[in-house]
Chains A and B, each alone.
Chain A
Amino acid sequence: MNVAQLDQIGLVVGAVLTLMIFSYLLADNALYRIAIHIFIGAAAGFLLIAALEGVLIPWLSATVLAQPSELSRVGIGLMPFMFGLLLAFKGSSRFSRLGDYGLTLMIGVGAALALVGAVNGTLVPLIAVTVREVRPENVINGVIGVIGTVSVLVFFTYFGVRRPSGAVEALLPVRFMGWVGQAFIAVTLGATYGLLILSALTALTGVITDRLLPWIGR
Chain B
Amino acid sequence: MTEQNQRPMFDDDSLPAWLTRAGITHAPRRATPPPATADPRRASQVAPRLQITVPPWETPQARDLVIEPIPAPMDDVLPPWLRPFKGTLPDFPAAGPLPHWQTEVIQSVDADMPTWLAPALEAAPTDSFDLDFGAPSAADEDNPFADLERPRSGFTTMLNPNKLGGTDIFAGLDWASESEAQTPADESKLIKTDQLGSLEWQGSETPSSRGQPKIIHTDQLGSLEWQTGGTPELTSADDLFASGDAPLPDFDFGTAQSAPPEADFLAGTDDDPFAGLDIPMDDDPFADVTPVQTGALPSLPTESEPPLAEPAPTSRGLLSFLETTPESATGALPSADLADMDWLDAANQMTPPADSPNFGATAESAVTDAAFADLGWLDSSPEPTKPAPSGGEADKDLLAALAGLETKPTGQTSSPADADWLLTGALDPAQAPDLSTLGDLPDLTGAASDQPTADIPDWIKTGYLPDQLPDGPPAEPPTPKSIDALRASTESLRETAGPTPESAQPAMEIPDWLMTGNLDESKLPSLPQTSSLMSAALAAADEDVPEWLRGSQASTSMPNFSAQASAAPNLDEDLPDWLGTGALTDSVDAPAKPLDASATTDKSPLADVPRPSKVRRPETAVDLAVGDLDIDSLLSSATAAIDLSALQAESAKEQPTVEADLDTLELSTAQSTAALEAMSALPDLGADLALDLPTDLPPDLGVMASAAPDLTAAAEAPALPVAPLPAPPPAEPAKPEAPKGRGRGRGRKDRSTTEVAVAAEALPEWVEVLKPSTGPVIFEIGDQKVAMEDQPIAALPAHLRALREKLGAVISLPTQLEPKGSTLEGIQNALSPIATTGAPSTAAAIAGGRRTAAQARAVGTLQAILSAQDALMQKRGEEDLAQTTFIARKVRSRPKLDRFLVTLALIASVLLPFFTDVASVFQVPRPETLSATDQARFDAFFNAVESVQGGTPVLVAFDYAPSATGELDELAKSLLRDVLRRGGRPVIVSTNPSSALHAYGLISDLANDVAFLTSLGRAEPFAARRDYWVIGYLSGGIGGVRALANALYADTFEQRVIFDQDTEGQPTGLSAADIQALRNLPTFLLAGANEDVRAWVEQYQTPQNAPQGESLRMVLMVSAAASTVAQSYTASQPNRILSILIGLRDSYLYAQASGQLSDATMQQNADRRWQSVAWSALMSGIIILLGAALNMIRDLARRRRQA
Contacts and interface: CB of A to CB of B under 8 A. Distances in A.
Interface of A: 3, 22, 25-28, 43, 46-47, 50-51, 53-55, 57-59, 61-63, 73, 76, 109-110, 113-114, 116-118, 120-122, 125-126, 128-129, 133, 188, 191-192, 194-209, 212-213, 218
B967 interface: yes
B964 A199 contact: yes
B84 interface: no
B965 interface: yes
Contacts of A55: 1033, 1035
Contacts of B994: 43, 46-47, 50
B280 interface: no
B1128 A46 contact: no
B585 interface: no
A198 B1177 contact: yes
Interface of B: 891, 893-896, 899-900, 902-903, 906, 910-911, 914-915, 963-967, 969-970, 993-994, 996-997, 1008, 1032-1033, 1035, 1037-1039, 1042, 1053, 1056-1058, 1060-1061, 1063-1065, 1088, 1094-1095, 1097-1099, 1101, 1119-1121, 1123-1124, 1128-1129, 1131-1133, 1143-1144, 1165-1166, 1168-1169, 1172-1173, 1176-1177, 1180-1181, 1184
Given A197-B1177, A202-B1173, A121 B1099 contact: yes
Given A46-B993, A129-B1132, A195 B1120 contact: yes
A195 B1097 contact: no
A43 to B, nearest CB: 6
Contacts of A201: 906, 910, 1172-1173, 1176-1177, 1180
14 contacts: A27-B896, A46-B994, A54-B1061, A113-B1039, A117-B1097, A118-B1098, A121-B1097, A121-B1101, A198-B1180, A201-B1173, A202-B967, A204-B966, A208-B914, A213-B1165
Given A26-B900, A27-B893, A195 B1065 contact: no
Which 7 A-B residue pairs are closest in the complex by CB-CB distance? A203-B966, A117-B1098, A121-B1098, A125-B1132, A50-B993, A206-B966, A25-B903
A203 B996 CA distance: 19
Given A55-B1033, A200-B966, 15 more contacts: A50-B996, A50-B1033, A54-B993, A54-B1032, A113-B1099, A116-B1098, A117-B1038, A118-B1098, A121-B1129, A126-B1132, A198-B1173, A203-B963, A203-B965, A204-B1176, A218-B914
A198 B903 CA distance: 16
B182 to A, nearest CB: 73
B900 A206 contact: no
Contacts of A58: 1057-1058, 1060-1061, 1065
Nearest to A57: B1065
B1129 A125 contact: yes
A26 B903 contact: yes
A208 B910 contact: yes
A25 B906 contact: yes
Given A113-B1039, A117-B1038, A202-B1144, A191 B1124 contact: yes
A42 B820 CA distance: 58
A51 B1053 contact: no
B895 A26 contact: yes
A53 B1063 contact: yes
Nearest to A121: B1098
Contacts of A59: 1057
Contacts of A113: 1038-1039, 1042, 1099
Contact of B1143 (A3, A202, A204, A208): A202
A114 B1091 CA distance: 11
Contacts of A25: 899-900, 902-903, 906
B922 to A, nearest CB: 12
A202 B910 CA distance: 10
A62 to B, nearest CB: 4
A129 B1131 CA distance: 6
A206 B1038 contact: no
B966 A46 contact: no
Contacts of A28: 891, 893
A212 B1120 CA distance: 24
Contacts of A27: 893-896, 899
A51 B1033 contact: yes
Contacts of B1133: 121, 125
Contacts of A207: 966
A195 B1121 contact: yes
Given A26-B895, A197-B1177, A213-B1165, A73 B1053 contact: yes
B914 A203 contact: no
B1094 A62 contact: no
Contacts of A57: 1061, 1065
A188 B1124 contact: yes
A3 B1010 CA distance: 14
A126 to B, nearest CB: 5
B1124 A198 contact: no
B1121 A196 contact: yes
Nearest to A116: B1098
B1057 A208 contact: no
Contacts of A206: 965-967, 969-970, 1144, 1169
A50 B997 contact: yes
A198 B1143 contact: yes
Contacts of B906: 25, 201
Contacts of B1063: 50, 53-54
A121 B1056 contact: no
B327 to A, nearest CB: 88
A204 B910 CA distance: 8
A203 B964 contact: yes
A62 B1060 CA distance: 8
A183 to B, nearest CB: 16
A174 B72 CA distance: 80
Contacts of A133: 1131
B993 A51 contact: yes
Contacts of B1165: 209, 213
Nearest to A218: B914
Contacts of B966: 199-200, 202-207
A18 to B, nearest CB: 10
Most buried by B among A57, A196, A198, A212: A198
A122 B1094 contact: yes
B605 to A, nearest CB: 72
Contacts of A208: 910-911, 914, 1169, 1172
Contacts of A117: 1038, 1042, 1094-1095, 1097-1099, 1101
Contacts of B969: 206
A57 B1168 CA distance: 46
A206 B972 CA distance: 13
Nearest to B915: A218
Nearest to A115: B1098
Contacts of A61: 1060-1061
A118 B1095 CA distance: 9
Given A113-B1039, A122-B1098, A213 B1057 contact: no
A197 B1181 CA distance: 9
Contacts of B996: 50, 54
Contacts of A128: 1132
A73 B1060 CA distance: 15
Contacts of B1008: 3
Most buried by A among B895, B1042, B1064, B1132: B1132
A192 B1121 contact: yes
Contacts of B910: 201, 204-205, 208
Contact of B1039 (A26, A53, A109): A109
Contacts of B1065: 53, 57-58
B361 to A, nearest CB: 99
Contacts of A118: 1094, 1098
A109 B1040 CA distance: 12
Given A121-B1098, A218-B914, A209 B1032 contact: no
B1 to A, nearest CB: 100
